[in-house]
Structure 1
Amino acid sequence: MNQNIMRQLILFFEKKAFGVCAKIAEVLGISSNVIRLYFIYLSFITFGSPIIVYLGLAFLMNLKRYLRRNRIVLDTF
């Protein structure tokens, strides 16, 4: 049961939290694992400030998705 909970937690983070790294990797044309690895290294070196950048990028991605969805809804009226 404990492994099932851990697997669900890992799947949640892969689906939700790693979207920013995957998008950056897609734009740059490199593996998302490399981006994640550098993000972890930078977090340790700079004492967590990349986390603030990461959360800002995640917010912008969600905002962009929200605006697209509303534009589609507004266009139908």
Structure 2
Amino acid sequence: MLQRILTFFERYSFGVCTYLGGRFHISIAKIRLFFIYSSFLAVGFPLIFYFFAGIVLDFRNYIKRAGTSVTDL
């Protein structure tokens, strides 16, 4: 049951931790733990940042896909 939950969140998450880990060369597990611990300490503020960053990253990927299809014409 726990493995199904973890698989669901890894598949449908925004990829913010992966992006930050690749950008700053930090382990993804450490970034995820940082978000979990800081959300307990800061009463959910990092979750707001996480969702905002996820929306921005998703929007950037959408713009990149749309830009390449227009220039191919």
- Bin for the TM-score computed over the shorter chain: 0.7 to 0.9
Aligned to 2:65: 69
Superposition TM-score, scaled by structure 1 size: 0.84
Structure 1 residue corresponding to 2:16, chosen from 15, 20, 26: 20
Segments of structure 2 that go 5 or more residues without pairing to the other structure are none
Residue 8 of structure 1 pairs with residue 4 of structure 2? yes
Kindly tell me the number of residue pairs found equivalent between the two proteins.
73
- Highest Rg: 1 or 2? 1
Q: Partners of 1:50 and 1:64 in 2: how far apart?
A: 21
Structure 2 residue corresponding to 1:38, chosen from 13, 18, 34: 34
In angstroms, what is the RMSD of aligned CA positions?
Answer: 1.4
Higher relative contact order (CA 8 A, sep 6+): 2
Identity %: 32
SS for the counterpart of 2:32 is helix
